[in-house]
């Protein structure tokens, strides 16, 4: 007698469908909970914002560029200029800051400081201006600074007193103050032989008696975003022709001695075209600025940032840089290059990301990474589930089949009382089968249940008609 039960194909299909739905929901939930953060926070100085606190035009360009790549850009500033620390210090000390633009000061930093971060490359030159009185050009070499009355503007950067002031702090290796300090050292300038006047927090021209003002050259005298509060009064003197930029003859030698500096030619009319300032090309020295970011930023977000930097600084030429020159990497940077950024600058957007914004691509990759272990774990369960369910249902039915086999084998030799009890037990089995509870997904086993009841009826009929065997 064959007691096999038909394959639970319908139940298997329902089981697999339900498992797939559950797996999809689980993957969606995990992807939502663990998807990479699609936002960046840049550390900036408060004076990099507009006077009303809104982002400057340059920052708005960054916001728009990153938004097109699916990444939101936020900003974090210090409370005021007195307590404001260098950008790089903000990145190192504040875990909420993801990236900054920081000067390359030539400082050698220990690996425990540099390892958690990467460079996305140099993005621009910052020319250093040596402003002198018109017609009093007595500075032709860097060494000519010695003995002159030098005016400079340096904030305290969180210290009690700023650098280049009596009893002031030592220049931070993360600040461009260290660059000026190295320039003074190379020129042989010391507090003993040269008066250095730091006018902070007042404008540079607060000091009336000076020979040279050292400050970065403003981007544009007519642009409010190109001006600094400390530069107050200097634009008008430049326009009136009362002060001018000093022209050095040894900029190549200076950059050779201080490799973090570049010897460049500042073009005529670079400060102001309408007034022809400066009147001729001026040899200048400039320091570089790099974009430094946390290494643990999601690859897609880091790629979006590299794309933004290239679009803003590399796709168009500048006064001191050719089209496509930036971003680039230099051995003078303290932080190792980001391989993601380096590959993007040299090879372009990876093939898999060309048609999907980096942020969305990152979510898809994260979801796939989550799917692999889940499918590896869940797929065997999906395959075994219907079989386990079928075996459980068969076990519950087959115990009745075996009981009927025993009754049918004993029935011919049984006495009247036992035969009556056996028939009654068969009726009881039929009632038990009628009320038998199987798990809810039992559609394929309903027919097996009624097949079992039909077999009970068959056995009852056969035994009722079978005479007792003679002893």
- Tell me the pLDDT tens digit for each residue of 146-184: 999 999 999 888 888 899 988 888 899 999 999 999 999
Rounded Cα gap, residues 238 and 258, in angstroms: 29
Nearest to 172 by CA among 63, 260, 89: 89
Three-class SS state of 319 = coil
257-269 pLDDT, tens digit each: 999 999 999 999 9
Least confident of 137-141, 197-201, 219-223: 219-223
CA-based diameter of the chain, in Å? Answer: 145
The answer to whether the beta carbons of residues 366 and 36 sit under 8 Å apart is yes
**H-state helical runs in 83-138:** 87-93, 111-114
The answer to whether the beta carbons of residues 223 and 185 sit under 8 Å apart is no
Percent of residues, the chain, with pLDDT higher than 90:
42
The answer to whether the beta carbons of residues 126 and 326 sit under 8 Å apart is no
Report the residue count for the chain: 471
Give Cα separations from 184 to 52, 89, 160, 404 (angstroms).
Answer: 37, 23, 23, 107
Cα atoms found within 13 Å of the Cα of residue 286, Cβ hemisphere only: 21
Mean pLDDT for 120-135 is 93
Rounded Cα gap, residues 181 and 174, in angstroms: 12
Three-class SS state of 318 = strand
Range with the largest mean pLDDT of 84-88, 372-376, 397-401, 445-449? 84-88
12-65 pLDDT, tens digit each: 555 556 666 666 666 666 555 555 668 999 999 887 888 788 888 889 999 999
Inform me whether the pLDDT recorded for 393 exceeds 70. yes
> Which class for 262: exposed (0-12), middle (13-18), buried (19 or more C-beta within 10 A)?
buried
The answer to whether the beta carbons of residues 441 and 387 sit under 8 Å apart is no
Three-class SS state of 460 = helix
The answer to whether the beta carbons of residues 169 and 125 sit under 8 Å apart is no
Domains and CATH numbers, the chain: 9-27+382-465 (no CATH), 39-355 (3.40.190.290)
Mean pLDDT for 451-463 is 84
């Amino acid at each position: 007698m064959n007691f096999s039960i038909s394959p639970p194909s319908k139940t298997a299909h329902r089981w697999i469908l339900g498992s797939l739905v559950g797996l999809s929901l689980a993957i969606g939930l995990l992807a939502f909970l663990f998807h990479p953060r699609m936002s960046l926070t840049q550390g900036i100085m408060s004076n990099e914002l507009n006077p009303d606190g809104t982002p400057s035009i340059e920052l708005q360009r960054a916001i728009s560029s990153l938004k097109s790549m699916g990444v939101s850009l936020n900003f974090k500033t210090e409370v005021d200029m007195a307590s404001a620390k260098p950008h790089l210090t903000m990145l190192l000390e504040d875990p909420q800051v993801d990236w900054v633009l920081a000067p390359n000061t030539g400082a050698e930093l220990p690996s425990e400081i540099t390892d958690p971060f990467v460079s996305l490359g140099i993005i621009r030159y910052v020319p250093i201006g040596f402003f002198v009185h018109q017609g009093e050009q007595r500075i032709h070499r860097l060494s000519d600074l010695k003995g002159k009355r030098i005016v400079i503007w340096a904030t305290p950067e969180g210290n009690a007193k700023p650098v280049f002031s009596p009893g002031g702090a030592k220049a931070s290796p993360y600040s461009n103050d260290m660059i000026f300090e190295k320039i003074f050292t190379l020129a042989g300038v010391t507090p003993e032989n040269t008066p250095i006047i730091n006018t902070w927090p007042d404008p540079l021209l607060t000091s009336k008696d000076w020979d040279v003002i050292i400050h970065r050259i403003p981007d544009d005298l007519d642009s409010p975003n190109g001006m600094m509060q400390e530069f107050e009064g200097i634009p008008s003197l430049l326009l009136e022709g009362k002060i001018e930029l000093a022209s050095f003859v040894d900029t190549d030698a200076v950059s050779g001695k201080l490799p973090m500096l570049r010897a460049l030619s500042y073009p005529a009319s670079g400060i102001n075209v309408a007034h022809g300032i400066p009147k001729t090309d001026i040899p200048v020295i400039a320091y570089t600025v790099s974009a430094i970011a946390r290494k643990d930023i999601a690859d897609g977000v880091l790629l979006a940032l590299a794309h933004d930097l290239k679009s803003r600084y590399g796709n168009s030429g500048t006064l001191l840089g050719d089209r496509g020159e930036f971003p680039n990497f230099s051995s003078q940077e303290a932080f190792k290059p980001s391989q993601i950024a380096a590959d993007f600058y040299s090879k372009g957007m990876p093939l898999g990301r060309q048609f999907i914004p980096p942020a969305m691509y990152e979510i898809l990759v994260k979801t796939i990474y989550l799917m692999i272990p889940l499918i590896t774990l869940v797929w065997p369960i999906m395959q075994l589930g219907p079989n386990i369910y079928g075996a459980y249902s068969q076990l519950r039915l087959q115990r009745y089949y075996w009981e009927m086999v025993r009754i049918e084998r004993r029935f011919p030799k049984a006495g009247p009382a036992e035969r009556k009890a056996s028939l009654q037990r068969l009726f009881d089995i039929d009632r038990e089968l009628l009320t038998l509870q199987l798990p809810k997904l039992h559609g394929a086993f309903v027919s097996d249940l009624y097949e079992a009841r039909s077999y009970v009826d068959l056995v009852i009929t056969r035994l009722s008609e079978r005479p007792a065997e003679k002893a």
